[in-house]
Amino acid sequence: MVEQEHTTHTQEGHVIIVPSPGMGHLIPLTEFAKLLHSTHNFSISLLLLTTTSVPTSAQSAYLSGLPSAISYTFLPPVDPSLLPDDVAHEVTINLTHVHSANHLRDSIARLTRDTRVVALVTDLFGTLLFDVAREFGVLPYLYFTSTAMCLSLLFHLPLLDETVSCEYRDMVDPVVLPGCVPLYGKDFVDTAKDRKDEAYKVIMDQIKRYKLAEGIFVNTFMDLEPGALHALQHNNPDQPPVYPIGPIIQSGLGDGPDGSDILRWLDRQQPESVLFVSFGSGGTLSYEQLIELAIGLEKSGQRFLWVVRSPSNSSFGSFFSAKSQDDPFGFLPDGYVDRIADRGLLVPSWAPQIEVLGHRSTGGFLSHCGWNSTLESIVNGVPLIAWPLYAEQRMNAVMLNEGVKVALRPKGAEGNLVEAEEIAKVVRELMEGEEGKRVHQRMKELSEYAKMSRSEDGVSTKLLNQVVHKWQS
C-alpha cells in the first residue's frame, strides 16, 4: 500500500473520493477534490485503485502537486491473474473494483472512525461503494465524468434493452433523447456495442445502481447542454438529483515532463495559426491510420503540433499507462521529420496540453473528443476537429459537430480509415475556411458561457454550493 497521509481536520468535514483506474478517471475526480478543498475547505482522502504494482509515472507526477489537505492512498494492486487480458477496459476496471472491495471497506471504516466524513464520491464504475458508504452513515454521490447526453443514454438503456431485439448498431432509426441531437446506435458508448459482451453486462449492472446515489454530479454546464440537463433534472422522479457543476478542468500539471521547448516553439508562431493534434492520455491509432494522418497534416499546408504515439491495434492502447511503447517517430514515413520541420513540431507521447490550448498561437485542436480534453478546449475557446476513438467519444463527436457546432468531423472511408486527402481538407477548412470561422466564433461564445457558469454567481457554482450546504448541515 503506497500512502501519502496528512490527515487534516477541518471544521467543514472530510470527503472520500474513489476514482477508477486510468488517468481519464483520476484527473477529473482529483480536480473535483481540489475544488472542494479550495472553495469549501474540506479535507479529502483519495483512495486509488490500481492495475499495476507501482503507480505509473503519469500518476505520480500528477499527484505530487496536491495540497496537504488532500491525501492519497494507493490500495494494494489486484492480483494480475484475476484480470483477464482479452476483455474491454470497462471489464478490467469493474473487476479491479470488485477485487478491491475489502481494502476499500477497511479504508472507509478507518476514515469514518478518525474523521467526520460527510460524503463519498465515486465515478460510474464505483457504484458497489454506495451500500458501503450508507452502512457507515456517509452520503454516496456519483461523479459522472462525461456529458449529460451520455448520462441520458445510460438511463435510457434499460428500456432499450427490453424493447429492442437487434444490436443497437443495426437499428434503422436514431434514438432521440430529450433535449439531445438524434443519436444512431453505431455512435453509442462502446459498452453498448455488443450486447453479448461482458462490458455490456457490467454497465447495465452499474446503471441499475445509479439510483442508489444521493445525487449525481456531471462535469458539464447549463449553456452547453441545456436540453439534456433540463430533462435529467425534471423528467424522472425516480432518478437522483443531477447537478451540472462544470466545467472543472485540470488546474496544475504537477511535476510532469518539461514542456518549455514546446511552448517556446509556440511563442514563435502567429496567433491562432497552429493546429494541436493529440489523442488524449490513452488514445492510439493503427499503423495505417498513423501514416494517413502524417501525410494529411503535411498536405494541409498548415502549422501543427502533433503528440505522436506508437501505433497499436487497439484504439486505447495507452489507456492505463499513458506512455508510448516504442520510439513513435520510427513509424512515420521516410524523411517525414525533415520535410515538415519548418512548420510542424512532433513530440513523443506527451505535451503540456493545458498550456498548449491556452496559448495564443493555438487555433484548432484535432482531438479524440475525450471529455476532459473537450472541456479544456471549450474553456480556452479552441475549435475542434472531432476524431473519436473509444468509450463515449463518438457520442461526444456527434454532440460537438451536429449539436453544439463547435467541431468539424472528417469522413472515414472503407473500414473507417480517414484518408490523407480528407484530413488535409478538414484541417484547411478549420484553420482558414468559412465554416472554420463559424465554428471558431461559436467556440469563443461557448468559452465565455463556460467561464460564467463557474464564476461566483454562476449556475454551476450555485448548484455545488447547494450540495455543500447539505453536507455541512
pLDDT at res. 437: 98
Distance, CA of 307 to CA of 278 (rounded, Å): 5
Average pLDDT over residues 451-472: 97
Torsion on CA atoms 429, 432, 437, 441, rounded to nearest 10: 110
In the chain, where the domains are located: 2-248+455-472, 260-451
b/e burial code for range 88-120 (CB count within 10 A of at least 16 → b): bbbbbbbbbbebbeebbeebbeebbeebebbbb
Distance, CA of 337 to CA of 279 (rounded, Å): 20
pLDDT at res. 237: 87
Active site residue 359: no
Q: 361 falls in which pLDDT band (50, 70, 90)? A: very high
b/e burial code for range 374-410 (CB count within 10 A of at least 16 → b): bbbbbbbbbbbbbbbbbbbbbbbbbbbbebbbbbbbb
Is there a shared CATH topology between the 2-248+455-472 domain and the 260-451 domain?
A: yes
CA angle 11, 15, 16 (to 5 degrees): 150
Torsion on CA atoms 185, 187, 190, 195, rounded to nearest 10: 10
The half-sphere exposure of 257 on its side-chain side, counting CA atoms within 13 A, is: 15
Average pLDDT over residues 271-284: 93
Residues 6+ apart with CB under 8 A from 172: none
CA angle 450, 28, 40 (to 5 degrees): 75
pLDDT at res. 9: 43
Q: 14 falls in which pLDDT band (50, 70, 90)? A: very high
Q: Tens digits of per-residue pLDDT, 132-141?
A: 999 999 999 9
Q: Which range among 96-110, 403-417, 438-452 shows the weakest confidence by mean pLDDT? A: 403-417
Query: What's the mean pLDDT when you consider all of the chain?
Result: 93
Q: 186 falls in which pLDDT band (50, 70, 90)? A: very high
Kindly state the cell numbers that stand for 177. Answer: 433523447
Kindly state the cell numbers that stand for 155. Answer: 438511463
Residue recorded with cell 511563442 = 267
Alpha-carbon distance values, 322 to 11, 279, 378 (Å):
38, 11, 23
Active site residue 123: yes
pLDDT at res. 377: 98
How many CB atoms are located within 10 Å of the residue 440 CB? Answer: 18
Name the catalytic one among 37, 123, 359, 440.
Answer: 123
- The closest alpha carbon to 348, from 323, 320, 317, 314, belongs to 323
Cis peptide before 247 (omega within 30 of 0): yes
- The closest alpha carbon to 387, from 417, 362, 410, 404, belongs to 410
Does domain 2-248+455-472 sit in CATH 2.60.40.1530? Answer: no
Name the catalytic one among 25, 89, 359, 368.
Answer: 25
How many CB atoms are located within 10 Å of the residue 254 CB? Answer: 15
Q: Tens digits of per-residue pLDDT, 90-110?
A: 999 999 999 999 999 999 999
Regarding the domain delimited by 260-451, which CATH topology (the fold level of the hierarchy) does it fall under?
Rossmann fold (3.40.50)
314 or 54: which leads in pLDDT: 54
Distance, CA of 10 to CA of 32 (rounded, Å): 18
How many CB atoms are located within 10 Å of the residue 435 CB? Answer: 12
